[in-house]
Amino acid sequence: MKVLITGGAGYIGLNLVSRLAASSAIKKITIYDTLKIQNTSSLLEVLKGTTVSFKRGDILDNRLLKAAMKEHDTVIHLAAVSSTPLNDEFSHQYEHVNHWGTASLVDAIEETSNVKQVIFLSTCGVYGAGSDMFSVSDTTSPIGSYAQSKYLAENQIKRLYNRLPSVSIIRVGTVFGHGYATRYDSVVNLFLSKALFGEKLFINGDGNQVRPFLHLQTMLDVFQHLLESKSWKHRVFNLVDFNLSINEVKDTLFSHFSDLQYVHVNRELKFRSLTVKDDSHLGLSHRKTFEELIKEEVSSLLTSPPNLAP
């Protein structure tokens, strides 16, 4: 199997590349990325001692995309302007890169004959918000520019249903976990880094808002399973480890950082919640509890503290 990973130099991408580079089932890996996030040091660390190749290019450059796709039978589409699912900043960038960039990718795939499988990373944010638990059969109602751009990107990917034997769309919760090029702007990673450095946590509203969360290693397990199982078909599924309130995340950290301090900002406000059912049904081994994962994350961060310099 020969895999092209768009956005492969980002947080999820680099950790996925590191995992797949050790798989005997993967014969070739190419990273396609703009390097706008400037993860050069992490990229070089992952590439060292491997046969992974790197192609610098924009997802909107159809010509470069088609050239990069040559000799690849699988495309994993991670390239995106990222945000938390309910955030509404950078609306133009979301539309430009996440929606039309995906359309550009689909156009390039339609003009090639070698690609047989596509895996697209979407977001649970396409469901919007509500008091009920959402499953994959529920109607989507994205709130905000980021979620809307991902929903539109899903529709672009679905254009490939009649052309390829396998198209997977994975709607994921907010990813957390220590690894290469770790993002510290999402709530669990952010809280962990602040707790490690003895900084105060700031919680918006009353903290009872619920979010779906996904551990990085669970995501990597699923990607590897999809690639190695060779069970090709079209599917859309949710991938979630936990649905937790922000207060529950904070409370779990207290067992590891007894002097942890926090403050509620606009505590009288109640923010909308999003609760999503995991329906991946991939038969993976038993997942760990949130408490177990946080314990492992704390140990990992104490061994290798994060570099938060810009």
Percent of the chain exceeding pLDDT 90 equals 78
E strand intervals along the chain: 2-6, 28-33, 53-56, 74-77, 117-123, 133-134, 166-172, 174-176, 201-204, 210-215, 234-239, 242-245, 262-265, 275-276
- pLDDT at residue 84 above 80? no
Higher pLDDT, 302 or 161: 161
pLDDT at 231 over 90: no
195 and 217 fall within a common domain = no
Range of the domain at 143: 2-175+212-242
Give the pLDDT band (50/70/90) at residue 86.
Answer: very low
C-alpha separations of 95 from 70, 90, 153, 294 in Å:
27, 9, 9, 34
Neighbouring C-alpha atoms within 13 Å toward the C-beta of 247: 11
Tokens of 277: 């059912």
Tens-place pLDDT, residues 142-152: 998 999 999 99
Strand arrangement, sheet containing 53-56 = 53-56, 28-33, 2-6, 74-77, 117-123, 166-172, 234-239
Residue pLDDT, tens place only, 105-141: 999 999 999 999 999 999 999 999 998 999 999 999 9
Please count the structural domains in the chain.
2
* Residue 28 in domain: yes
Query: Is there a single domain that holds both residue 103 and residue 24?
Result: yes
Higher pLDDT, 75 or 40: 75
- Of all residues in the chain, the percent with pLDDT exceeding 70 is 95
Q: CA 119, CA 288: separation in Å to the nearest integer?
A: 25
Chain-centroid distance, C-alpha 248: 22
pLDDT, position 88: 57
Statement to judge: residues 267 and 225 lie in one domain: no
Q: What is the pLDDT of residue 305?
A: 63
* 72, 8 contact by CB (below 8 A): no
My answer on whether 66 and 153 are in the same domain is yes
